[in-house]
Amino acid sequence: MRYLRLVCCVAALAMIANSLPASAHHSFAAEYDGAKPIKLTGKVTKVEWYNPHVFFYIDVKDEKTNVVSNWAAEMNSPNSLMRLGWTRDSMKLDDEVTVEGSLAKDGSKLLNARTVVLAKTGQRLFAGSSDGSTPTR
C-alpha cells in the first residue's frame, strides 16, 4: 500500500512538472540579425540580472526628432558576464552607457549587446551574448 501511494505521488508530480511552461533557449541567429549592427547611447532605466540572459533597458533620444524611445538590450547569462568582468553593480539606474550590438529581426526596439561602454568610467565591458562577441586575449 505504501508503495502504491509513493508511485501515485511520483506520477502526479511528474505530470505537474510536465505541464509547466518551459522557457526555450534561443540561438542568436533565430532572433537577431548579425548584418544589422547598431550603436546606441542612453540612460539606463532598468537592469534585469536573471538567467538565462541579463537584460537592460535604456532611454535613447533620436537626434532628428528628439523623441525618446526605450530600448531593451540582451546580454549573456549572469555567470558568463561575471567571467567577463561584470558585477551586479557594474551598471546602475541613470548611468549613461553606449551599447553596440545587433538588431532584432522583428524590427522591435531590441538588440543583442556585444559591448557596453560605461560613460562614468569609460570602461568597456564585453556582453558576450552575440556572435563574435568574445574578446580576444
To the question of pTM greater than 0.75 for the whole model, the response is no
Residue 74 neighbours by CB under 8 Å, 6+ apart: 53, 54, 55, 110, 111, 112, 113, 129
SS3 55: strand
Q: Is the dihedral of CA 60, 73, 38, 86 positive or negative?
A: positive
Phi/psi zone of residue 94: left (φ > 0), alpha (ψ -120 to 50 degrees), beta? Answer: left
Angle at CA of residue 94, ends 120 and 58, nearest 5°: 105
pLDDT in tens, the chain (137 residues): 676 675 555 555 555 544 444 444 556 666 888 899 999 999 999 999 999 999 999 999 999 999 999 999 999 999 999 998 899 999 999 999 999 999 999 989 999 999 999 999 998 988 876 554 444 43
